[in-house]
Amino acid sequence: MLGRIVIDDVHPRTPTRRFPAKAAVGEVVPVSADIFKDGHDVLAARVRVGDETWPLTPVGNDRWEAAIALGVVGAHDLIIEAWVDRFATWRHDVQAKAGAGQDLTTELEEGTLLFERLLPHVPELRRPLVEEAAAALARDSCTVDVRLNAGLDDAVAAALAGVPLPEDVTVSDPHPLWVDRERASFSAWYEVFPRSEGGFGGVAKRLADIADMGFDVVYLPPIHPIGRTFRKGRNNTLDPAPDDVGSPWAIGGPEGGHAAIHPELGSLEDFRVLVDEAKAHGMEVALDYALQCSPDHPWVTEHPEWFHHRPDGTIKYAENPPKKYQDIYPINFWPPKEKDRKALWDACKAILDHWIGHGVRIFRVDNPHTKPTAFWAWMIREVQAAHPDVLFLAEAFTRPKVMAKLAEVGFTQSYTYFTWRNTKQELIDYGLEVTSAPTAEYMRPNFWPNTPDILAGPLRNGPPAAFRMRAVLAATLVPSWGVYSGFELCENEPASDTNEEYLHSEKYEVKERDWTRPDSLVPFLTRLNEIRRAHPALQRLRGLQFHHSNTDQLLAYSRTSADGSDVVLCVVNLDPHQWHEDTLWLDLAALGLPPTVDALDELSGQAFAWDATPYVRLDPAEAPAHILHLRAR
Amino acid sequence: MLGRIVIDDVHPRTPTRRFPAKAAVGEVVPVSADIFKDGHDVLAARVRVGDETWPLTPVGNDRWEAAIALGVVGAHDLIIEAWVDRFATWRHDVQAKAGAGQDLTTELEEGTLLFERLLPHVPELRRPLVEEAAAALARDSCTVDVRLNAGLDDAVAAALAGVPLPEDVTVSDPHPLWVDRERASFSAWYEVFPRSEGGFGGVAKRLADIADMGFDVVYLPPIHPIGRTFRKGRNNTLDPAPDDVGSPWAIGGPEGGHAAIHPELGSLEDFRVLVDEAKAHGMEVALDYALQCSPDHPWVTEHPEWFHHRPDGTIKYAENPPKKYQDIYPINFWPPKEKDRKALWDACKAILDHWIGHGVRIFRVDNPHTKPTAFWAWMIREVQAAHPDVLFLAEAFTRPKVMAKLAEVGFTQSYTYFTWRNTKQELIDYGLEVTSAPTAEYMRPNFWPNTPDILAGPLRNGPPAAFRMRAVLAATLVPSWGVYSGFELCENEPASDTNEEYLHSEKYEVKERDWTRPDSLVPFLTRLNEIRRAHPALQRLRGLQFHHSNTDQLLAYSRTSADGSDVVLCVVNLDPHQWHEDTLWLDLAALGLPPTVDALDELSGQAFAWDATPYVRLDPAEAPAHILHLRAR
């Protein structure tokens, strides 16, 4: 049976309401619900998580809201409790009747009885006040006015605020909420191929530089042995030279599979040193979790039942006809026998457990959309049940519904379509979509201007100004962003006019780079990450607001901290080739700011005195953007 | 565990997904879902209701749609089944590879094996075709071309369409759908106070006239004994004259309660005659279900535990402080003892069972929002489990969330805010809201231009043109509408400038009316209902579309039948005092019509040859609207 009070449409939630919504430790999460009942009673309501409660406030149209923040990583149940506020209802009726000059005798008697019923539930400290009010109400000699005042006294009201009679409380179903550690919601990723650095030792040497740039996740593409059968050559060719290194995603060789390390990168001990040194620099190493096998992977011979087979008994390589990927065998996640399925899924999980055992707590998951959603739902739940601090980034470059579903079933963060959102309207639409409910309640975007697979939009043959502009957008539109190394050197050569990949892709060859180049973007990226760390406004997903500009080349948006005290306004020139100017229109009131503000440009150091209609001119040769700290003048 | 295929966001559904969505017998209901899986397999899907299935078709962005229609009243479960279409997947791969000139040997072998696996599941009639194709594929002597053609033959594809291997099928959760009889979705109500007609006999004499006007539900305000204690006088006064008749909603007297009949209206036998004669005229009698008691109701003495009490032991009358309703005792639906609650709810249900036993199948429920939602959820489910043909109209004149919730928990139809939607934009917004998903999936609007409580908007002191205009809107915007008698006589005197009720309200006195007045709207209402009956487009909830007009005084909208064959275009002058003209812009293509159409005005009989930009001029002195049957020229 339904409760006495209707509690509906509780947020945060996922689309199907069958998986936990997401929050991070300390993150301010808006909670809301429809709460109503028949009749005219005054209601009260609160959010409960374990023993902690937060009052809900009505905001109109039977909607109630609260802002909560949780401190413990793991699974939580969010419960809404609603009840008739008997004192407020009585008080309202007495006031209405008193206002109309009606007789109050019965109402005051009811008040006395009500106080007696409520008293056992009033916290001890506040009881004397209520007892006194009840006594005053009951006193025959008391004039109506005095009794009325006693009964309506604000101190009594405060003493009775949120005091439900247990039998009055309607309790909602539990709404699951998963709380991650903070890095789940605020992170800066740096992707580096260890073989291009000379292995784990080389990466370790670069850790200080990466940390100095302000990144906190060092993500390594697969570090495992690489197959030789059908190994890809440079530029994704099918006829490799003997010394070609192959794609790290063609996992597995005689040396081992997903739990092994490519011998040329170093030893397991070297890897552990790298993990520890990253930690010493305040960073973490993220590993790639790519569930596919080269034809030389040990599973191919040990567990042929985990693969698809052709009529002649051979194992099927990956294809998307007419495209063929002979160097990769996809896994058959649904082998005909249930015991095989179970063994396979357990083996996949064992890979994660192995690396978790060696100190890894973040996994970047390769092509999750080519594996069953059911598998991820199971896997992530199982892993996080034992290790709630483990985070998963989904490389969900797939259709929108699939991307959203992967987030719903448990992925901590997701790559997004940011790379392909370049015009002003695209950025506004997409920015609002990923930072607002319902999406923001279960999916956390991670904006990457580039990846080893994707050189897109203005970066293709683009000038350094394009790289700066896209970095500003990625770093300030959402709280998590990442770059694939080489970005700071403005590597911009596409494989071809029609191919989104890089020419001389690092996926198929070792790259040597001069990290000391004077024209590198290292100082710029460093400053971006400094600004991100200095501003709470840039560390939360919610709080993005776009402001009006007249030209399609200038994008203006603000981000605001949960308590409203920190406001950052970004004005970005989306055209890396040409200066643009405009008079903006800023909704300062919506930002909790007065009509005139101090605007300190965190990029240039310039200070402006601005009103709601400032003139801006941005020349990409000088700066791609203003990133302004706004304060009341 | 999740299924192999994701099936999400299934529609129709209610907001909480915990109550049945609604359909009526024969109603074409759009069903849709997100359906996808990992990888590139071609999917197929269908809707299942019992043994009946309908294919689902992908419409982009992983959304699939079907249109279903059910023939049996009662509770149904809508199930989505989705599977990998193995033949289509194989065919796609073979075609792609053939197109790229790749070797097909293995693929053709796989095809042969696939045919063998599928064959047992192919309906017998179609098997020979598939066997032949499989044989051709297997034949060594067969050239690749021949085998390819055999395998790809469209006849074979058709034979294999919708043939899932049982182990491939992912089955969704059941989604409940309640199917009502047709009157639930298409009805014209006429409200009449039997005492003003001289009782049941008088109403019976008017049945032919009401039927001639085209109404099919004759709704009677409460027919029960009326209390004398605190009886209201004329115009809602507190000092009734001895001969004042009181409000029929103050139910209960010495003669009985909700199961009794007011002696002056007639006997139970007279009532049964009325019910039967209404049926003979193709109509139904709807009774009022008003769960409140006058102080003289038998329950007050027999079951004081079913009421609220004051400290002095007396029963609380209804109030909304400072307003008092001393003539009514509200029921306490949650008495402290569970056994009392159960007895009370059963007694409330027994009232309905009583009248159902006397042939009533439609109830108009008074103020359902002042009774617990949980009560209605229980009550309607219980009643319809035994009598699935019983319909409930909710007088849900309350807040939007509450109105929607009452619809969700089971009310067949709902009064709406139509009475207060008068401007063009209000009518567009509200029209689309109530006729589109998600609202239309569980709530059926019933548009009333007036009720005994509500004389609003342009009807207040309004001219006959205002009554005609509002009647057109109510009768053509949605498939169910109703009027309170007197509407056809354009009764327009409000109780006061600030009171929405009628002066000399029939709620408190007997009205005598001259139904033969030559200026009555009887012919107009008759024609409206004739047009409604002639046009399938006007009989379904979905299919409302607004068209562009340049003036706020002209509202243009079309309604379309489910198969698109019937299109009715309404152009309404919203200003009853002044003619208006405009050149419209009609989206004829969206209506499935060519650029020029025949437009027959069903109200005036005029015929026009129209294109997408017709000129219209509507003078309220002549006609409030065009109601045009559009056909391809």
The span from the CA of B194 to the CA of B173, in Å, is 48
Spatial distance between the Cα atoms of A294 and A224, rounded to a whole number of angstroms = 11
Higher pLDDT, A203 or A118: A203
Give the Cα separation of B253 and B249 in Å (integer).
12
Contact B8 A16 (CB under 8 A): yes
Q: Inter-chain contact B100–A322, Cβ cutoff 8 Å?
A: yes
Closest B-chain CA to A8: B16
Average per-residue pLDDT in chain B? Answer: 95
Partner-chain residue, chosen from B16, B110, B334, that has the shortest CB–CB distance to A310: B110
Q: Quote the CA–CA distance of A152 and B75 in Å, as a whole number.
A: 51
Q: Is A93 an active-site residue?
A: no
CA distance A190 to chain B (A): 28
Question: Per the CB < 8 Å rule, is B38 touching A378?
Answer: no
Q: What is the per-residue pLDDT for B35?
A: 98
The predicted-structure confidence for A345-393, as pLDDT tens digits, reads as follows: 999 999 999 999 999 999 999 999 999 999 999 999 999 999 999 999 9
pLDDT tens profile A47-85: 999 999 999 999 999 999 999 999 999 999 999 999 999
**B36 to A2: CB separation less than 8 angstroms, yes or no:** no
Interchain pair A39, B400: CB under 8 A: no
Distance from CA of B562 to the nearest CA of A (A): 29
Which residues, listed in sequence order, are joined to residue B632 by a DSSP beta bridge?
Answer: B597
Q: Taking CA atoms, what residue in A is nearest to B405?
A: A6
Q: Do A377 and B15 touch (CB under 8 A)?
A: no
Check pLDDT > 70 for residue B141: no
Average pLDDT over residues A238-252: 95
Task: State yes or no: pLDDT of A8 exceeds 80.
Answer: yes
Q: Chain B contacts of A3, Cβ < 8 Å? A: 374
Most confident of A307-311, B238-242, B506-510: B506-510
Does the interface ipTM go beyond 0.85? Answer: yes
A141 has pLDDT over 70: no
Of A62, A110, A374, the CB nearest to B2: A374
Nearest to B310 among A62, A93, A110 (CB): A110
Q: Closest approach of chain B CAs to the CA of A213, in angstroms?
A: 37
Give CA–CA dist A612/A627, Å, rounded: 16
pLDDT, tens digit (0-9, with 9 covering 90-100), for B268-300: 999 999 999 999 999 999 999 999 999 999 999
Average pLDDT, chain A: 95
Greatest alpha-carbon span in chain B: 106
Could you tell me if B322 and B316 are in contact, meaning their C-beta atoms sit under 8 angstroms apart?
Answer: no
Q: Which residues contact A257 (CB under 8 A, 6 or more apart)?
A: A224, A225, A251, A293, A297, A298, A299
The reply to whether residue B38 touches residue A373, judged by beta carbons under 8 angstroms, is yes
Residue B416 is given by DSSP the state -
In chain A, residues with a C-beta closer than 8 Å to the C-beta of B313 are none
Q: If DSSP codes are grouped into helix, strand and coil, which group holds residue B6? A: strand
Specify whether the CB–CB gap between B169 and B195 falls below 8 A: no
Asked if residues B249 and B221 have their Cβ atoms less than 8 Å apart, the reply is yes
B581-594 pLDDT per residue, tens: 999 999 999 999 99
For residue B591, give how far its alpha carbon lies from the nearest alpha carbon of chain A (Å): 30
Contacts of B100 in chain A (CB under 8 A): 321-322
Chain-chain contact of B370 with A321 (C-beta, under 8 angstroms): no
Band of the pLDDT at B552, cuts 50, 70, 90? very high
Residue A320 is nearest to which of B40, B99, B371, comparing CB atoms? Answer: B40
Catalytic residue among A191, A395, A501, A602: A395
Answer for the pair A94, A149: CB distance below 8 angstroms, yes or no. no
Distance from CA of B41 to the nearest CA of A (A): 10
Residue of A311, A400, A409 with shortest CB distance to B61:
A400
In the prediction, which pLDDT does B302 show?
97
Task: Evaluate if residue B376 carries a pLDDT over 90.
Answer: yes
Q: From its phi and psi, is residue B260 left (phi > 0), alpha (psi between -120 and 50) or beta?
A: beta
Nearest CB neighbour to A99, from listed B99, B106, B322: B322
How far apart are the CA of A93 and the nearest CA of chain B, in angstroms? 6
Q: How confident is the model at residue B124, as a pLDDT?
A: 86
Contacts of A54 (CB under 8 A, 6+ apart): A31, A46, A47, A66, A67, A68
Least confident interval from A136-140, A434-438, B194-198, B480-484: A136-140
Task: Name the residues of B annotated as catalytic.
Answer: 366, 395
Distance of CA B469 to the CA centre of its chain: 22
| Helix/strand/coil (H/E/C) assignment for every residue in A34-90 | EEECCCCCCEEEEEEECCEEEEEEEEECCEEEEEECCCCCEEEEEEEEEEECHHHHH
B61–A399 CB contact, under 8 Å? yes
Q: Do B369 and A402 touch (CB under 8 A)?
A: no
Residue B473 host element (H or E): helix B464-477
The helix (run of H) or strand (run of E) holding residue B212 is helix B200-212
- The 10 Å CB-count burial string (b at 16+, else e) for A121-137 is ebeeebeebbeebbebb
Q: Model confidence over B90-120: pLDDT tens digits?
A: 888 888 888 888 888 888 888 888 888 999 9
What is the predicted pLDDT for the residue at A133? 80
All residues of chain B having their beta carbon less than 8 Å from the beta carbon of residue A61 are 399-401
Q: Would you call A352 exposed, middle or buried from its count of C-beta atoms within 10 A (0-12, 13-18, 19+)?
A: buried
Rounded to 5°, the CA angle A613-A614-A619 comes to 140
B401 contacts on A by Cβ (under 8 Å) = 8, 34, 36, 61-62
Residue A52 designated active-site: no
> A36–B401: do the CB atoms touch at under 8 Å?
yes
Average pLDDT over residues B367-391: 98
Write the DSSP symbol of residue B436. Answer: S
Q: What percent of chain A has pLDDT over 90?
A: 84
Residue of A nearest to B113 (CA): A311
